[in-house]
């Protein structure tokens, strides 16, 4: 039998590549928005469905746990089956899951829908990176495309609460899900027309042991870290943490023994890739932490409604979008650009810690933080450029795992830090509701002191994340050679 020819590779002169990028960026925007829009819709969902605290936690966590557990096996399957096919299938899963909310009348149904959306997210997010790697063969164009990709992710994080607030003011909480359906339908049609199929010529072997180790290990780790932030180091949480770490260690060893591993962990041998991972982890952790604590400050302390609070967070996205196109255009070395971006990020966080806690000043700090995260596109270019076409799926999975871990670490540890500083600043004798969170003090005599304590907690998050950004800048400076150019990052 005649073997089918592999799809024709896309050249840098393909006139449709920028239109294709628009489709990939727009779909990423929808997926990232869905990750933040739930925070706005959850209170109304809780009231209508009478959600218990446990149900609320599972509705929030089901997406992240499913996404984290399936990233590696689904990305490896996309390398073999076709990255375009996997992406379009992910769009369809996302649309079906969003439409199913019309029949959701119980907490269990909503948890199942969120898990299904996590499957769709695992299919979409790494596929976008792999296809960008294939679409843009010129390294400078690819870096610009990845910068736009990173700016779009930042925009989605900030716009999610805006869209959610607007929808909830006009419709029920179902609209926060249903808005995805027409957008994904358009993405499927546009993707069929604009995207070319791309797959690995030497895909990794997908074996049962590797799937169990990677999916089980990642899920256990993410769940354990989340529980550490909520309940502290309980015996069950510590056991899950150890089990997840051991499973991932066994998975890494399993991959190293294979000539065609499901995840090419040998990519970590390259210092440039490790630098990109450090920069991506620092930027992602910082952005999520500032969004998480900043949204609480705006709504609970400043009294902003959901829509107004979402609009107030937009300077984070604006800074990233404005500066993102300049990173690949710079004639200086990637080391200078990436380190400079992380130092700018640290400067914005210092402003957040030091400036008065009033919105005009906080908006300025948000803008500088956004400018600093603009170097994320260059970090993506270092990660994706460290891989050849066959390894693109592995590089994409590594980057998405980095973002996922950054989000979990931000909410778990930095959110816990904010809570600890808040409680430490309260005087003895305050009621239990106020001590639990500033939300419990709203409308009571203790609100003034609770608000001041939360402002201190907000500043402490800025100070700690500034130190993290500085440590990341130093690490990147040491890992990236001074003589490295953008052309050297391409394999």
Angstrom CA distances, 297 to 361, 414, 491, stand at: 14, 14, 45
Output the CA angle 402-399-276, nearest 5 degrees. Answer: 90
Both tokens of 464, joined, read: 């700690």
Query: Taking 90 as the threshold, does the pLDDT of residue 311 lie above it?
Result: no
The pTM assigned to this predicted structure is 0.86
Q: 258-273 burial, b if ≥16 CB within 10 A, otherwise e?
A: eeebbbbbebeebbbb
**What's residue 4's pLDDT?**
35
Token pair 């971006």 in the structure block, residue: 341
**Mean pLDDT score of the chain:** 84
> Using an 8 Å Cβ cutoff, are 236 and 224 in contact?
no
**What's residue 249's pLDDT?**
94
> Using an 8 Å Cβ cutoff, are 211 and 238 in contact?
no
> Using an 8 Å Cβ cutoff, are 40 and 365 in contact?
no
Q: Which of 229-238, 244-253, 308-317 has the highest mean pLDDT?
A: 244-253
| Domain at 17-205+258-489, CATH homologous superfamily | MFS general substrate transporter like domains (1.20.1250.20)
Q: How far apart are CA 290 and CA 368, in angstroms?
A: 12
Both tokens of 107, joined, read: 């907490």
Give the HSE-up count for residue 222: Cα atoms under 13 Å, Cβ half-sphere.
Answer: 26
Q: State what percent of residues in the chain have pLDDT above 70.
A: 93
Q: State what percent of residues in the chain have pLDDT above 90.
A: 27
Q: Break the chain into its structural domains and give their ranges.
A: 17-205+258-489, 206-257
Grade residue 6 by pLDDT with cuts at 50, 70 and 90. Answer: very low
Grade residue 5 by pLDDT with cuts at 50, 70 and 90. Answer: very low
């Amino acid at each position: 039998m005649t073997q089918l020819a592999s799809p024709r590779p896309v050249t840098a002169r393909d006139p449709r590549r920028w239109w294709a990028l628009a489709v990939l960026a727009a779909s990423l925007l929808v997926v990232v928005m869905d990750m933040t829009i739930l925070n706005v819709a959850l209170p109304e969902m809780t009231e209508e469905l009478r959600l218990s605290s446990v149900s609320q936690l599972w509705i929030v966590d089901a997406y992240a746990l499913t996404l984290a557990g399936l990233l590696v096996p689904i990305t490896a399957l996309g390398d073999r089956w076709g990255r375009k096919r996997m992406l379009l299938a992910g769009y369809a899963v996302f649309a079906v899951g969003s439409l199913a909310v019309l029949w959701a009348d119980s907490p269990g149904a909503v948890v199942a829908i969120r898990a299904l959306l996590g499957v769709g997210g695992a299919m979409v997010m790494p596929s976008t990176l792999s296809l960008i790697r294939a679409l843009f063969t010129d390294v400078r164009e690819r870096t610009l495309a990845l910068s736009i990709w990173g700016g779009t992710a930042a925009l989605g994080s900030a716009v999610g609460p805006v869209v959610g607030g607007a929808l909830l003011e006009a419709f029920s909480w179902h609209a926060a899900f249903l808005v995805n359906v027409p957008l994904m339908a358009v993405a499927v049609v546009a993707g069929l027309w604009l995207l070319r199929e791309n797959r690995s010529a030497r895909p990794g072997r997908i074996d049962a042991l590797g799937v169990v180790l990677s999916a089980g290990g990642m899920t256990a780790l993410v769940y354990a870290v989340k529980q550490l932030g909520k309940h502290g180091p309980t015996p069950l949480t510590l056991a899950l943490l150890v089990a997840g770490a051991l499973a991932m260690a066994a998975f890494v060893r399993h991959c190293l023994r294979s000539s065609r591993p499901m995840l090419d962990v040998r990519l970590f041998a390259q210092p440039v890739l490790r630098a990109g991972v450090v920069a991506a982890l620092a930027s992602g952790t910082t952005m999520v932490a500032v969004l998480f604590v900043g949204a609480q400050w705006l709504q609970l302390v400043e009294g902003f409604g959901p829509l107004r609070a979402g609009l107030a967070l937009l300077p984070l996205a604006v800074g990233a979008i404005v500066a993102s196109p300049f990173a690949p255009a710079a004639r200086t070395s990637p080391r200078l650009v990436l380190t400079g971006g992380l130092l700018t990020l640290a400067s914005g966080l210092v402003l957040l810690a030091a400036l008065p806690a009033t919105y005009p000043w906080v908006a300025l700090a948000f803008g500088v933080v956004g400018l600093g995260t603009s170097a994320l596109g260059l970090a993506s270019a270092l990660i994706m450029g460290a891989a050849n076409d066959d390894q693109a799926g592995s590089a994409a999975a590594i980057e998405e795992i980095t973002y996922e871990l950054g989000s979990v670490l931000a909410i778990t540890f930095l959110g816990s830090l904010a809570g600890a500083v808040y409680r430490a600043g309260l005087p003895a004798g305050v009621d239990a509701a106020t001590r639990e969170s500033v939300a419990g003090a709203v409308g009571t005599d203790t609100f003034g002191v609770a608000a001041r304590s939360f402002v201190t907690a907000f500043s402490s998050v800025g100070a700690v994340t500034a130190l993290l950004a500085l440590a990341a800048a130093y690490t990147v400076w040491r890992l990236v050679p001074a003589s490295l150019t953008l052309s050297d990052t391409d394999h």
